[in-house]
């Protein structure tokens, strides 16, 4: 979804020393977005995401910045996606309908094949 690319751009271009930063330049972030976009299918935003999101924020009492995570889960529900890869697995513990993985779950640091 475009939301995911937007959130990646935000984290990627934050200055080093900020929370959840990667410290990339705009050019480096653009190159990474192009690479990611070539590997994945970006699902379109649809009108059916909003009611799912509203149901989730009400059911789980979501407020503040966590509403963006709820929106992602709403889109996952609409598209029947069950697995999420994220650096912030803790942010998604309230959503029992999805399985959350961190990059280290998929690409262990001590695995020589991950380079």
pLDDT tens digit at each of 115 positions of the chain: 688 888 889 888 987 666 667 788 999 999 999 999 999 888 999 999 999 999 999 999 999 989 999 999 999 999 999 999 888 899 999 999 999 999 888 887 765 555 5
Instruction: Please give the Cα distance from 112 to 10 (Å, whole number).
Output: 30
Token pair recorded at residue 69 = 């995570």
Per-residue burial over 54-77, b = 16 or more CB atoms within 10 Å of its CB, e = otherwise: eebbeeeebeeeeeebbbbbbbbb
**Structural contact between residues 15 and 24, judged by C-beta atoms closer than 8 angstroms:** no
CA-wise closest residue to 101 among 112, 115, 90: 90
Going from N- to C-terminal start, the domains of the chain cover 1-42
Full-model pTM: 0.78
């Amino acid at each position: 979804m475009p939301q995911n690319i937007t959130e990646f751009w935000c984290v990627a271009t934050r200055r080093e020393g900020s929370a959840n930063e990667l410290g990339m330049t705009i050019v480096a972030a653009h190159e990474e977005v192009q690479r990611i976009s070539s590997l994945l299918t970006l699902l379109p935003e649809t009108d059916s995401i909003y009611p799912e999101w509203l149901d989730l924020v009400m059911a789980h009492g979501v407020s503040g910045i966590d509403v963006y995570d709820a929106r992602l889960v709403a889109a996952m529900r609409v598209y029947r996606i069950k697995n999420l890869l994220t650096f912030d697995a803790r942010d998604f513990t309230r959503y029992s309908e999805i399985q959350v993985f961190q990059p280290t779950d998929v690409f262990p640091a001590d695995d020589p094949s991950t380079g």
